[in-house]
Structure 1
Amino acid sequence: MNCPADQGLQLELEGLVQGIGFRPQLVLRATELGLTGWIANSSGGVKLEAHGPRVQLERFVDELLQRPPRFSQITKLSRHWLPYNQDHQAFCIAPALREGSASALLCPDLALCADCERELRDPGSRRHQYPFISCTQCGPRYSVTRGLPFERCNTSYAPFSLCDACAQEYSDPRDRRFHAQTISCSHCGPELLWNGDVVALDRGLGHATAALHRGQIVAIQGIGGFQLLADPQRSETVACLRARKGRPDKPLALLSSHQWLQELCVVSEQEAELFGGPSAPIVLLRRRRNTGLDAGVAGSSPWLGVMRPASALQLLLLESFGRPLIATSANRSGEPICRDACRDQAQLAELCDGVLSHTAEIVNRIDDSVVREAAKAPLVLRLGRGLAPVAIQAARPRSAAVGLGAQQKGALAILQGNQLVLSPDLGDGSNSAGLLHLEDTLQQWLSRHQLEPNHVLCDMHPGYGSTQLAKEKGRHHGSVLGLVQHHHAHVLAVMAEHALTGPQLGVAWDGSGWGEDGSLWGGEFLQVNAHSVQRLGHLSPFPLIGGERAVREPRRVALALLHGSYGPAWRERLAGLRDLPWLQSFEAGELELLEQSLSRGPQPVNCSSVGRLFDAVAALLGVQQRCSFEAQAAIALEGLAMEAFDAGTLPRDRYRLAIVEGQPFLLAWKPLLEALLVDLERGRPTAEIAYLFHCALADALPAVAARLESRELVLAGGCFQNRLLLELSLEALQAKGIAVHWSQRLPSNDAAIPLGQLMTLG
């Protein structure tokens, strides 16, 4: 019999509340409080109705807000009090409600949890050595989802009907797999395949392990796509892998246990947490010497990218092999990762010698995330498996929109209600395969979220494939097309992450982006609001000799700086540096031809990019003359500077970038270049020069802030993926009492630009 204090309460919850065991955890809490009712996934999140004493209902809500279920992010909670209903006998999970727009957030894929790993190793468990083990706290999510809400029928696990034992676990509120949508076992789950044939686990692992020990390359079906695995101690295998991928220099990542990690790298407490966390990203770490790895794995880089197994299948194969493995995306460099053993059979045949796959389809391909620790916080280098999609709450609801980003770091974002949702990094959009991947992903997202955009936003660069796609989609949907300046979007993305409103002083340092004057920007000081941007200052411009070729050849940028400082007399200025590696990188007559392009014929496009300034310094110091991947020279220059940092030989003197007054003002690099050449003539170690270059950039920031009388600064753009530059900048600014905001949840590179584009809608 109910007492007068009994009532009913209806809650509607939005945010990240699906795919994380949210409903099972609330069933347990409600039951402990003696409440009855139901809870269900909905198209927009979760809806529940609870009945019982009002004091217990209020306690239920308080605990929900103060101790939300793990991984959840409640962005909106609506409550409605109801009359008490005594018909409910218990608190249960009800069938999903398909009402309203499909605005529920998709959970990122979650790596194997500790409970499932213990069960995997337990000979008494019925999931002992089961390669697809998962529960409510781990397993594939985004990668297997076709539609919303997140229910088994909307995932690629729908074809696998539960056996009686799994069905019992699924329906038992006391079980860890209560309503786990990817639940399965060896009797009802996916089948393992070796080169397309169904095999038992021991045979599949045996074939793959034997191939790896023979020095062959094996493709394994990971959570978001196929990975290529290889022995990192075999020179011929590493060389073969690089040739097949078309990846001559870019460092390769490793798959490792935590025990082996300590032998490979120097690991801080924060880095160990990143490595072992539920997203299981590739973590960029300082490598130890004499690790037994072939030199071709990471080249001269002082860092190694290392990740733990994200799935039981990866873990079982790693342990079967017995030591760390190279683990890199199964794709040709710059192309989307393979996701289907049948459809991608031809490409996989070119890349590997054997394929270990299974019958659970990957719906949404997604690369591994890459992170590093900087300033005692995570710094996202690539937003991928385990971290994406990522949602940012907007200040207020707005009309539906999509942002299609820039080019080299392809990505998209949608605006639905008050949620800004950013996709994973979709790869290089400058080739046809990458652009097709962007278009396919866009169609999947619009369909899954039942979204008809009123606005389509893109970069203002007229040559980007994403810009052309935006124009096409805008016409198709009858949407308003918005062109957003590249660096405006960079700064707005950071502002969105930190819930900042304008105006803000933003520093946007990157490789390049199309400027409003038709030149390439990349060293910008901007006054930013959602709807407007003012260019207050920038790095002194210099020509890009050969346009895109200059991006691939830092030596060309160095010539532009020398010619810009000393004119035709630059040779005389270098008279004391005849043995400079930079000079020796040119063939006879090559310098003269490049120099002529500065004075004859069409003038090269001007550039104000800090990223290209990194290139020029790297070339002059003999670090990198040509590049085969993005930011190769800048990464190498950071590594060189870290040698001085590690050796404790930090110079006390400083280079400087001069502020030249004007509208806009200029940050002049000529004094820095002269000081650098003087130090080269004196024989100063190049590691110290590289360190001083980083310091000069960092020291310029508080000087500019003082000139503009600003006590707050937003740091944006790919240059701030450089840990040394970021930490030196924070130190210099915070010493002057200037508040600093930078990307942590989002990447600071172009992959976050779609979200910044959406912020222009106000």
Structure 2
Amino acid sequence: MEASRLRLEIGGLVQGVGFRPFVYRLARELGLAGWVCNSAAGASLELEGSDAALEGFLLRLPREKPPHAEIAHLEVRKIPARGEGAFEIRPSLAGEKTAAILPDLAVCGSCLSELFDPADRRYRYPFLNCTRCGPRFSILEALPYDRANTTMSGFAMCEACRAEYEDPRDRRFHAQPIACPQCGPRLEYWDAEGRAPAALEEALPCAVRAVREGKILALKGLGGFHLIADARNDAALARLRRRKAREEKPFALMFPSLAALREAAEVSELEARWLQSAEAPIVLLRRRAAAGLSTAVAPGNPYLGAMLPYTPLHHLLMADWGFPVVATSGNRAEEPICTRESEAWERLGGIADAFLVHDRPIARPVDDSILRVMAGREMMLRRSRGFAPLPVAVPISRPVLALGAHLKDTVALGVSNRVYVSQHLGDLQTPQAMAAFAEAAERLQACYETRPESVACDLHPDYASTHFAESLGRPLRRVQHHHAHVVACMAEQGLEGRVLGVAWDGLGYGPDGTLWGGEFLLATRAAFERAGYFLPFPLPGGERALREPRRVALGMLHEALGPAGLSDFKGPLRAAFSPAEWRLLREMLEKGLQCPRSSGVGRLFDAVAALIGLRRVQKFEGQAAMELEFLCEE
């Protein structure tokens, strides 16, 4: 029977998920010849064999693909047969880079079984992985996703790992970060003076002992450092808060197991699924009355931000500790998380009592993602590890770089009808944060070898991201903050045409020069009309009012009562100010000095919290609104 040959071009999430080994095994099973390789756009393959075998391959490809693979588009064309008799995996092809990058994946069940199996050669090895799990985005330096383009390129495979890597029957067949104790990364422990134990195998026991003794451990993990402390130890957490200058903002927790977490918090079936998923985010959970945790974990907060171990290293540590730990980002206030040992020693040296590090470089900082289940569905609060940089489908004709706002920033690259969204970058308040922001923007462009023709930035003229956009010397598209929110929701939900979008937040710069934030917009992707909004009121002191809800409340009262009414005001709020402060702020309001007007719903929450005496000065952004929500839930 005469053979036929097909050429397939596949785009989507097909690199780093075991897709080529899957194609190899399926083709061999069906008796097909040809080859498969990574391409700049995803994967390319040619298949040769009977028409029945080729048809069977095309039917089974989408149905049996690896669990983390996603086929966004598939192009099939018939080409002349070549008479090949075997199927192989070939080196990657060059071309325009549009392949989706896989996020980092939590350790899979098979690897976890090996981790705790004394008979396995990777027993208690902190860096084991396979095609189903392990580091991806945090180690990737360039596309396509090959070992040479990752931070594992400096680790030469031993003979045993090489044999697994080249064996089509092995689940580590072409697993790019493959490693073992003989050839892979290693741990090292330092005390506060930088001294390390003589034997490398003592690193893990030393770290376990340090936390048990109440010390603060700086742990180099998957996408950066965590600061670890015993979540039951009041003194340890008080030191951590003092050293990190984090007075009341809640700490994230890591629990040894789902069973242990259920003793401290209420966990629904959906929340449990997310906690145990490959993405393994932090999930906000309602805490139990007898949680057995220090009150310093989340002062005055009825919720816990909890996660389960997601790397082999975390599993080893948590199994040895057997109790929940604080696992907060390894940084100082308003700075990005540390990723390099030297950087951590310099920036975390005054916070941590000990360090557990390793020699696998981290290509970029990747914070933990945060998720909350509301009304029976998940709501993403921080999109980072496990999710970034997965793309959103948006019709884009020309490459564009989008630089976000000022707080909770991310950057994004639009190319070939997809928007690749970076990991969470945080607030652009410090030089270190700006350096990380600039690096993320540059590396996203470098990864896809794309120089955008234009740059999108926030309409606010004073944002650091706006200044950065202006410095690039490319055509600018200044986007109104709340229009961006609405269009982002449209893209996420696949909506076209005109919509009524409701965008409520703290503030965003409006075209009229006031601070918007309680918006009803009739919007398309290209334009909007302001259909309605909350009545604006003044914020005495501008940015300072964002930290002091009492000032926001005073501005709202001035708007509602007028100067005369405010002069006669005798409510409890007046006691929140000294007589001199009261006089000065009233004068500022009457003269309109440093009193920008805002319609932000977030500021409305702040004002109500201050008026009822709940929170008049914030220790962290959003605290007043959170406490108002908690009060309403009681």
Does the TM-score normalized on the shorter chain lie above 0.5? yes
Q: 1:96: which partner in 2?
A: 92
User: What is the alpha-carbon distance in structure 2 between the residues aligned to residue 270 and residue 464 of structure 1?
Assistant: 38
Q: 1:389: which partner in 2?
A: 389
How far off is 1:105 after superposition? 1.4
Q: 1:443: which partner in 2?
A: 442
One-letter amino acid of the counterpart of residue 94, structure 1: R
Of residues 600, 608, 620 in structure 2, which corresponds to 1:617? 608
How far off is 1:601 after superposition? 5.4
Pick closer, same or farther for the CA change 1:189–1:527 going to 2, 3 Å: same
The question of whether the paired residues in 2 share the 8 Å contact of 1:341 and 1:348 is answered with no
Give SS of 1:438's match: helix
Of residues 102, 106, 110 in structure 2, which corresponds to 1:107? 102
User: What is the alpha-carbon distance in structure 2 between the residues aligned to residue 567 and residue 334 of structure 1?
Assistant: 38
One-letter amino acid of the counterpart of residue 116, structure 1: C
User: What is the alpha-carbon distance in structure 2 between the residues aligned to residue 571 and residue 542 of structure 1?
Assistant: 14
User: What is the alpha-carbon distance in structure 2 between the residues aligned to residue 641 and residue 240 of structure 1?
Assistant: 32
How far off is 1:205 after superposition? 1.7
Please say if 1:189 is aligned against 2:184.
yes
User: What is the alpha-carbon distance in structure 2 between the residues aligned to residue 279 and residue 570 of structure 1?
Assistant: 54
The question of whether the paired residues in 1 share the 8 Å contact of 2:407 and 2:426 is answered with yes
Please say if 1:503 is aligned against 2:498.
yes
User: What is the alpha-carbon distance in structure 2 between the residues aligned to residue 390 and residue 617 of structure 1?
Assistant: 39
The question of whether the paired residues in 1 share the 8 Å contact of 2:48 and 2:84 is answered with no
Q: 1:60: which partner in 2?
A: 57
Give SS of 1:144's match: coil
How far off is 1:254 after superposition? 0.6
Q: 1:634: which partner in 2?
A: 625
Please list the CA deviations of residues 661-705 of structure 1 after superposition, one character each: whole Å capped at 9, or x if unmatched: xxxxxxxxxxxxxxxxxxxxxxxxxxxxxxxxxxxxxxxxxxxxx
Deviant stretches of 4+, over 3 Å = 196-202, 568-575
Pick closer, same or farther for the CA change 1:200–1:416 going to 2, 3 Å: farther
Give SS of 2:529's match: strand
Please list the CA deviations of residues 508-541 of structure 1 after superposition, one character each: whole Å capped at 9, or x if unmatched: 1011000000000000011111221111110011
User: What is the alpha-carbon distance in structure 2 between the residues aligned to residue 88 and residue 94 of structure 1?
Assistant: 15
Pick closer, same or farther for the CA change 1:621–1:29 going to 2, 3 Å: farther
Pick closer, same or farther for the CA change 1:462–1:249 going to 2, 3 Å: same
Q: 1:295: which partner in 2?
A: 295
Q: 2:239: which partner in 1?
A: 240
User: What is the alpha-carbon distance in structure 1 between the residues aligned to residue 80 and residue 375 of structure 2?
Assistant: 53
User: What is the alpha-carbon distance in structure 1 between the residues aligned to residue 241 and residue 462 of structure 2?
Assistant: 30
How far off is 1:315 after superposition? 1.2
Please say if 1:407 is aligned against 2:402.
no
The question of whether the paired residues in 1 share the 8 Å contact of 2:330 and 2:337 is answered with yes
Q: 2:118: which partner in 1?
A: 123
Please say if 1:548 is aligned against 2:543.
yes
Q: 2:380: which partner in 1?
A: 380
Q: What runs of 5+ residues in structure 1 fail to find an aligned partner?
A: 644-762
The question of whether the paired residues in 2 share the 8 Å contact of 1:192 and 1:200 is answered with no
The question of whether the paired residues in 1 share the 8 Å contact of 2:189 and 2:357 is answered with yes
Q: 1:204: which partner in 2?
A: 203
Q: 1:37: which partner in 2?
A: 34
User: What is the alpha-carbon distance in structure 2 between the residues aligned to residue 53 and residue 267 of structure 1?
Assistant: 52
How far off is 1:59 after superposition? 2.3
Pick closer, same or farther for the CA change 1:504–1:552 going to 2, 3 Å: same
One-letter amino acid of the counterpart of residue 44, structure 1: A
Of residues 19, 22, 27 in structure 1, which corresponds to 2:19? 22
Please list the CA deviations of residues 485-513 of structure 1 after superposition, one character each: whole Å capped at 9, or x if unmatched: 11111111011111111211110101100
User: What is the alpha-carbon distance in structure 2 between the residues aligned to residue 45 and residue 311 of structure 1?
Assistant: 26
Query: Where do 1:71-470 residues align within 5 Å?
Result: 71-89=68-86, 91-98=87-94, 100-195=95-190, 197=196, 202-256=201-255, 257-395=257-395, 397-470=396-469
User: What is the alpha-carbon distance in structure 1 between the residues aligned to residue 413 and residue 172 of structure 2?
Assistant: 32
Please say if 1:563 is aligned against 2:563.
no
The question of whether the paired residues in 1 share the 8 Å contact of 2:541 and 2:594 is answered with no
Q: What is the identity percentage for the equivalent residue pairs of Structure 1 and Structure 2?
A: 44
The question of whether the paired residues in 1 share the 8 Å contact of 2:275 and 2:283 is answered with yes
Pick closer, same or farther for the CA change 1:603–1:444 going to 2, 3 Å: closer
Q: What runs of 5+ residues in structure 2 fail to find an aligned partner?
A: none
One-letter amino acid of the counterpart of residue 233, structure 1: R
User: What is the alpha-carbon distance in structure 2 between the residues aligned to residue 317 and residue 438 of structure 1?
Assistant: 32
Q: TM-score, structure 2 length as denominator?
A: 0.96
Of residues 508, 517, 522 in structure 2, which corresponds to 1:522? 517
The question of whether the paired residues in 1 share the 8 Å contact of 2:276 and 2:308 is answered with yes
User: What is the alpha-carbon distance in structure 1 between the residues aligned to residue 137 and residue 589 of structure 2?
Assistant: 50
User: What is the alpha-carbon distance in structure 1 between the residues aligned to residue 294 and residue 564 of structure 2?
Assistant: 45
One-letter amino acid of the counterpart of residue 624, structure 1: R
Q: 1:7: which partner in 2?
A: 4
How far off is 1:70 after superposition? 1.2
How far off is 1:22 after superposition? 1.1
How far off is 1:239 after superposition? 1.3
User: What is the alpha-carbon distance in structure 2 between the residues aligned to residue 441 and residue 571 of structure 1?
Assistant: 48
One-letter amino acid of the counterpart of residue 45, structure 1: G
Q: 1:676: which partner in 2?
A: none
The question of whether the paired residues in 2 share the 8 Å contact of 1:191 and 1:198 is answered with no
Of residues 586, 590, 606 in structure 2, which corresponds to 1:595? 586
Pick closer, same or farther for the CA change 1:278–1:198 going to 2, 3 Å: farther
User: What is the alpha-carbon distance in structure 2 between the residues aligned to residue 519 and residue 54 of structure 1?
Assistant: 66
Give SS of 1:92's match: strand
The question of whether the paired residues in 2 share the 8 Å contact of 1:192 and 1:199 is answered with no
Please list the CA deviations of residues 714-745 of structure 1 after superposition, one character each: whole Å capped at 9, or x if unmatched: xxxxxxxxxxxxxxxxxxxxxxxxxxxxxxxx
User: What is the alpha-carbon distance in structure 1 between the residues aligned to residue 200 and residue 19 of structure 2?
Assistant: 32
Query: Where do 1:678-717 residues align within 5 Å?
Result: none
User: What is the alpha-carbon distance in structure 2 between the residues aligned to residue 216 and residue 410 of structure 1?
Assistant: 32
The question of whether the paired residues in 1 share the 8 Å contact of 2:408 and 2:427 is answered with yes
The question of whether the paired residues in 2 share the 8 Å contact of 1:205 and 1:320 is answered with no
Give SS of 2:124's match: coil
Give SS of 1:399's match: coil
User: What is the alpha-carbon distance in structure 2 between the residues aligned to residue 620 and residue 199 of structure 1?
Assistant: 60
The question of whether the paired residues in 1 share the 8 Å contact of 2:409 and 2:426 is answered with yes
Q: 1:652: which partner in 2?
A: none
Please list the CA deviations of residues 188-232 of structure 1 after superposition, one character each: whole Å capped at 9, or x if unmatched: 101111127487565112111111122110011110000000011
More helix by share: 1
The question of whether the paired residues in 1 share the 8 Å contact of 2:232 and 2:324 is answered with no
User: What is the alpha-carbon distance in structure 1 between the residues aligned to residue 417 and residue 372 of structure 2?
Assistant: 30
